[in-house]
Amino acid sequence: MESQKILIIDDNNENIKVAANIIKADNNIVWATLNVKEGIKIAEMKSPDLILLDVQMPIMDGYEACSILKSKEATKEIPVMFMTARTDDESIHKAYQAGAVDYITKPIKKMELLARVHTQLKLSGMIKCLKKASVTDGLTKLYNHKKILELLNLEIDRAKRYKRDVSIMMLDIDHFKRVNDDYGHVVGDTVLERLAFVIKQQIRDLDMVGRYGGEEFLIIFPEINQSQAYQVAERLRKTVEALIFDDGLTITISGGVAEYSDEKTEHFIKKADDNLYKAKNSGRNKIIS
């Protein structure tokens, strides 16, 4: 099982030692700090899987710290568990209002801490899986149609704000229906999966790709112009052309590239789609820019 990363924020060093020793014994990675402001910075930089947060601290109490963590984009999804000597209803209610998922009372008991930490890590993992599934295409593991459009809109906004280039490519597998008809849908699915893998290999880490629908894919190229995007697309086309599947099956792709020029998102996509249409209608296995 992969080690989980847990951040402890407490102004009492002895409390940190007790909690850390218990958690480390369960094969977890533990970061700790006595300074609440530093703890918030660590959470932003390292994205722990769980935060154990003391309530009574100088400068800023746990309630305020938790509210800050929940207000920041980088930390709002990290579950926070309070460690407190307070057991009155008002304090517990205040903890949940601040955004905590659970609390544990001091003095800390080993089995209780482990049980509560296990529960929160398990729940957090399940939520992450569900969120990932909601934006991922089940077959190719690429972004799904909804998510890739969301990302495109974000990139367009960024390009407009900072006066930077952004280009896209619409690509389609040539004669994919024949693959399904001649080899079966299992082979067709294999082709889609392998093509998705190859696309990821050929593009940069900051580029984004999603399954737009069927055998059609949309690739977003931040900060490069149409000519540069065309070069990437052409390299991808040649790589796909050289692939050999089982039974000697080969495939080709056609693509349309476009550069953003201050239009609506749907018009931007249509430019790339029109170029794809031209590529399909002028012999296939080519990129039109």
State the catalytic residues. Answer: 215
**In the 8-state DSSP scheme, what is residue 136?**
B
Q: Please tell me the distance from the alpha carbon of residue 142 to that of residue 197, in angstroms, as a whole number.
A: 9
Ranges of H-type helices in 51-137: 62-71, 89-98, 110-135
The answer to whether the CB of 206 falls within 8 A of the CB of 165 is no
Q: Please tell me the distance from the alpha carbon of residue 105 to that of residue 247, in angstroms, as a whole number.
A: 64
Q: Tokens 């430019």 — which residue? A: 271
Other C-beta atoms within 10 Å of 78: how many?
A: 21
In sequence order, the β-bridge partners of residue 166 are 222
Six-digit token pair at 2?
């992969």
Strand runs (DSSP E) across the chain, as ranges? 5-9, 29-33, 50-54, 80-84, 102-105, 166-173, 208-213, 216-222, 253-259, 287-288
The answer to whether the CB of 137 falls within 8 A of the CB of 238 is no
The answer to whether the CB of 222 falls within 8 A of the CB of 214 is no
Torsion of CA 40, 43, 45, 46, to 10 degrees: 160
In terms of DSSP bridges, do strands 216-222 and 166-173 run parallel, antiparallel, or are they unpaired?
Answer: antiparallel
